[in-house]
Amino acid sequence: MDRPKSISRRRVLAAGTAGIVGAALPIAGQSPDQAARPKVPADPTKVQGPLATDVGNRSPFERPKRVSFSDRRTSSLSPLQDLDGIITPSDLHFERHHAGVPTIDPKQYSLLIHGMVDRPLVFTLDDLRRFPGKSMIRMIECSGNGGRVYRREGNITDLTPQQIDGLTSTSEWTGVPLATLLREAGVSPKATWFLAEGMDAAVMTRSIPIAKAWDDALIAYGQNGESLRPEQGYPVRLFLPGVEGNASIKWLRRIELADQPFMTREETAKYTDPLPDGTARIFSLDMDAKSLITEPAFPDKLTGPGWWEIRGIAWTGRGKIARVEISTDGGKTWQHAKLDEPVLPKCHTRFRFPFEWKGGETIIASRATDETGYSQPTYDVLLAARGPSTAYHFNNIRGWKIHADGTVKFAGGL
């Protein structure tokens, strides 16, 4: 066996010099003088505009956007498949409103707390900001999220993750705990419910058990490091972590304490769950554990057999996600995915799973379990429990069909 040739310092230097000389040789159309000059990048301030701007912009190569259900623009969906991490940029956060977005002068804003209290109080925005603040990273989800695919309306195979479940987002919310304000007003120990009322044209109102106020309810004025955006309730909204989104009243103007629910339009004619036996669930506020694969998903196309990473998000309104399982054979077998840190309560949690696609047709799916032990049900189990007429809380397992040519289509509920 031949011994490897030794490499001397002289040979290394000679090779390096040859490379430098070769790089300086002129190419066609260049003089030796031109070839010897180093290429200096153009002045970026002249090519790209000023280095600093009042408001930053995304790269022109990145164009995520919200899409709307209809021309009425009462809601728009977050582009889940285009996002990384768990924080949703404020301008891509989903929105849902019933009667437009009011324009409210923060200097004229006030919040009334009254009813079963010792001291009815009115707070201005400056008053609220004087109290010790709190920030929390939490998700929010519309209770109707996923309804289109549950009811199997139209062609559901060619839907993106955004079109399926885009009515959920995660933000860092900042404000004053509602419990702080209730202690300031002196709430009666007999008060068991509170009413939250908005100042939009719909006068959105919901009754909430007072236990939620003492727990983690927030009177929010900030989102992702800035003031709330108008479509998110500027200047002040109620934020109830883990609770269906409609109860987190935006443009909040009034809180009333009482010893029973107020039975408003939004909790009688709306936001109740009809059941197959003719009864209905009422005040079904907490959001159930749920997960969604965001990649690969429609309209992705796998370019060939080999290793791919399945990615997605999971969330629950009842604490932390304990585990996410992945099936790559249509639900016959399940394996544990990796959860990305941080795993926070009532918050989107990222998951990943390495998948070797061998080129055949298969269905991939995810199943989340939260720290209470509750797991996502199959479509048939949810349909049997809730019936076809329910309009809220759709959290059954979702699947994606990978075809032999690599195209990915939504497979509906497993």
CATH number of the domain that residue 328 is part of: 2.60.40.650
Same domain (yes/no): 299, 379? yes
Residue-by-residue DSSP string for 321-360: EEEEEEESSTTSS-EEPEEPSP--TTS-EEEEEEEEE-SS
Report, as an integer, the average pLDDT of 283-298.
97
Least confident of 7-11, 37-41, 246-250, 368-372: 7-11
Give residue 47's pLDDT: 53
Q: Is residue 53 part of a domain?
A: no
Q: Would you place residue 4 in the very low, low, confident or very high pLDDT band (cuts 50, 70, 90)? A: very low
pLDDT tens per residue across span 8-66: 433 433 344 344 334 444 444 555 555 556 666 666 555 555 567 788 999 999 999 99
Beta strands in 154-244 (DSSP E): 168-177, 193-198, 205-209, 218-223, 226-227, 237-239
Give residue 78's pLDDT: 98
Same domain (yes/no): 252, 315? no
Structure tokens at 126: 């400056």
Q: Is residue 45 part of a domain?
A: no
Domain limit, last residue, from 257, 281, 305: 281
pLDDT tens per residue across span 202-245: 999 999 999 999 999 999 999 999 999 999 999 999 999 999 99
* Nearest Cα residue to 248 out of 268, 227, 271, 281: 271
Q: Which residues contact 315 (CB under 8 A, 6 or more apart)?
A: 139, 141, 168, 170, 287, 289, 290, 291, 321, 346, 347, 348, 349, 368
Instruction: Give the amino acid at 186.
Output: G
Same domain (yes/no): 352, 222? no
Same domain (yes/no): 126, 213? yes
Report, as an integer, the average pLDDT of 177-200.
98
Distance, CA of 285 to CA of 288 (rounded, Å): 9
Helix, strand and coil in the chain, % to nearest 5? 20, 30, 50
| 280 C-beta neighbours (distance < 10 Å), count | 13
Domain count for the chain: 2
Q: Is residue 4 part of a domain?
A: no
pLDDT tens per residue across span 61-80: 999 999 986 656 788 999 99
Please provide the distance, in angstroms rounded to a whole number, between the alpha carbons at the two ends of the chain: 61
Same domain (yes/no): 71, 212? yes
Same domain (yes/no): 348, 226? no
State the residue for tokens 């998700």.
139
Domain limit, last residue, from 261, 281, 301: 281
Is residue 183 over pLDDT 90? yes
Distance, CA of 161 to CA of 164 (rounded, Å): 5
3 state SS of 117: strand
Is residue 285 over pLDDT 90? yes
Report, as an integer, the average pLDDT of 394-409.
98
Same domain (yes/no): 271, 400? no
Structure tokens at 8: 């001397």
Give residue 20's pLDDT: 36
State the residue for tokens 């990048």.
41
Give residue 112's pLDDT: 98
Q: Is residue 225 part of a domain?
A: yes
3 state SS of 184: helix
Helix ranges (H only) for 40-124 are 44-47
Residue 37, classified by CB atoms within 10 Å of its CB into exposed (0-12), middle (13-18) or buried (19+), is: exposed
Q: Do β-strands 321-327 and 362-370 pair in parallel, antiparallel, or remain unpaired?
A: antiparallel
Structural domain range at position 370: 290-413
3 state SS of 189: coil
Q: Is residue 189 part of a domain?
A: yes
Same domain (yes/no): 215, 337? no
Residue pair 270/144 in contact (Cβ under 8 Å)? The answer is: no
Give residue 272's pLDDT: 92
Give residue 74's pLDDT: 82
Give residue 42's pLDDT: 64
Q: Is residue 164 part of a domain?
A: no
pLDDT tens per residue across span 295-353: 999 999 999 999 999 999 999 999 999 999 999 999 999 999 999 999 999 999 999 99
pLDDT tens per residue across span 122-178: 999 999 999 999 999 999 999 999 999 999 988 899 999 999 999 999 999 999 999
Report, as an integer, the average pLDDT of 195-202.
96
Same domain (yes/no): 118, 217? yes
Distance, CA of 35 to CA of 87 (rounded, Å): 49
Output the pTM of the full model. Answer: 0.87
CATH number of the domain that residue 219 is part of: 3.90.420.10
Give residue 10's pLDDT: 38
Give residue 72's pLDDT: 61
Same domain (yes/no): 259, 311? no
Give residue 54's pLDDT: 87
Residue pair 256/194 in contact (Cβ under 8 Å)? The answer is: yes
